């Protein structure tokens, strides 16, 4: 069942001035924006620029125009982030020249056109979803999380993990298998939360599968779920 606090429900509340909704939205989606800005050299300004991205998202009907344009949410978020970064660079250049700066209007914001830099942002986006999914796995299934962490991230042998946790190797193998399935299920749910419909959901599964480097008959198979339905 889709979470009641889906992307557009949360956006609607945030745009109406609901401070709690704005904070929840920021907490949910600021991670990849902050990481991308830091990677692009924003340095100590990255936190302030991230906040600016979300202030602009809720201002001037930007989100309404994005819905009408048919752009995916991830593409919109990247477009606004790129816009804020470019304005920051122009502002810095203007300060060096001793001049002022006129910010571009967001009215002409293009969210659908592909950009080479979007691949970098997409990687940050995937890392953000994986992190959220791993955090959930740690909360709900700590045994699965520990087994995955020690085998996939720490590179420990199953025999050593079994000895440390006083479990059989078969148990560790089972936890790793179930942990993978749970993690992929959580990734599908994360994708479902920020997509608007079944078509967009299927497209996002395809994008996630490409980012994961999955080799399967279909994107949905790679992520362990149905092609067009929700989780």
Which whole number is the average pLDDT over 8-20? 75
C-beta of residue 200 within 8 angstroms of C-beta of residue 72: yes
pLDDT tens across 185-206, in order? 998 888 887 776 788 788 778 8
Can you give the pTM of this predicted structure? Answer: 0.68
Would you list the domain boundaries of the chain?
Answer: 7-108, 118-222
For the cut 70, the answer to whether the pLDDT of residue 182 exceeds it is: yes
203-224 average pLDDT score? 60
Greatest mean pLDDT among 29-33, 195-199, 217-221: 29-33
Across 161-178, average pLDDT = 94
Give the pLDDT of residue 61.
64
* pLDDT more than 70, % of the chain: 70
Q: What integer pLDDT is reported at residue 13 of this predicted model?
A: 78
Task: Specify the residue for token string 């078509």.
Answer: 199
More confident of the two residues 168 and 4: 168
pLDDT at 105 over 90: no
Class of domain 7-108 as given by CATH: mainly alpha
pLDDT at 104 over 70: no
Q: What is the pLDDT of residue 64?
A: 60
The torsion angle over the Cα atoms of residues 9, 14, 19 and 21, rounded to 10 degrees, is: 30
Residue 71 pLDDT > 50: yes
pLDDT of residue 223 exceeding 90: no
What number of other Cβ atoms are within 10 A of residue 176's Cβ?
A: 18
Residue 106 half-sphere exposure, CB side, CA atoms within 13 Å? 24
Q: What per-residue confidence (pLDDT) applies to 135? A: 92
Which of the pair, 101 or 180, is modelled with greater confidence?
180
**Spatial contact of 22 and 58, defined as CB atoms under 8 Å apart:** yes
Crossing angle of helices 7-15/62-69, nearest 10°? 150
Cβ–Cβ under 8 Å, residues 219 and 204: no
Q: For residue 7, what pLDDT is reported?
A: 63
* Residue-level pLDDT at 128: 85
The predicted pLDDT at position 115 comes to 52
Picking from 193, 203, 74, the residue whose alpha carbon sits closest to that of residue 127 is 74
- Which are the contacts of 142, defined by CB distance < 8 A and separation ≥ 6? none
Give the pLDDT confidence score for residue 166 in this predicted structure: 93
* Three state DSSP letters for the chain: CCCCCCHHHHHHHHHCCCHHHHHHHHHHHHHHHHHHHHHCCCHHHHHHHHHHHHHHHCCCCHHHHHHHHCCCHHHHHHHHHHHHHHHHHHHHHHHHHCCCCCCCCHHHCCCCCCCCCHHHHHHHHHHHHHHHHHHHHHHHCHHHHHHHHHHHHCCCCHHHHHHHHCCCHHHHHHHHHHHHHHHHHHHHHHHHHHCCCHHHHHHHHHHHHHHHCCCCCCHHHHCCCCCCCCC
Q: Which tens digits make up the pLDDT trace of 106-161?
A: 444 343 444 556 778 888 888 888 888 899 999 999 999 999 899 987 889 999 99
- Cα(100)–Cα(93) distance, rounded to whole angstroms? 10
The predicted pLDDT at position 110 comes to 43
Mean pLDDT of the chain: 76
């Amino acid at each position: 069942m889709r979470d009641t606090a889906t992307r557009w429900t949360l956006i609607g509340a945030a745009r109406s001035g609901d401070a709690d909704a704005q904070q929840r939205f920021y907490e949910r989606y600021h991670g990849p924006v902050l990481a991308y800005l830091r990677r692009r050299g924003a340095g100590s300004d990255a936190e302030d620029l991230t906040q600016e991205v979300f202030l602009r998202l809720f201002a001037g009907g930007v989100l309404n125009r994005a819905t009408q344009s048919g752009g995916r949410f991830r593409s919109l978020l990247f477009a606004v982030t790129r816009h804020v970064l470019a304005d920051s660079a122009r502002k810095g250049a203007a300060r060096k020249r001793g001049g002022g700066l006129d910010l571009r209007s967001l009215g002409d914001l293009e969210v659908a056109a592909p950009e080479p830099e979007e691949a970098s942002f997409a990687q940050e986006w995937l890392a953000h979803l994986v992190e959220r999914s791993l955090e959930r796995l740690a909360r709900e299934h700590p045994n699965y999380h520990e087994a995955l962490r020690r085998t996939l991230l720490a590179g420990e042998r199953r025999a050593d993990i079994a000895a440390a946790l006083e479990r059989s190797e078969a148990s560790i193998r089972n936890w790793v298998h179930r942990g993978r399935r749970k993690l992929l299920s959580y990734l599908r749910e994360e994708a479902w939360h920020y997509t608007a419909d079944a078509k967009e959901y299927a497209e996002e599964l395809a994008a996630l599968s490409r980012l994961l480097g999955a080799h399967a008959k279909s994107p949905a198979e790679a992520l362990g779920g149905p092609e067009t339905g929700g989780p």
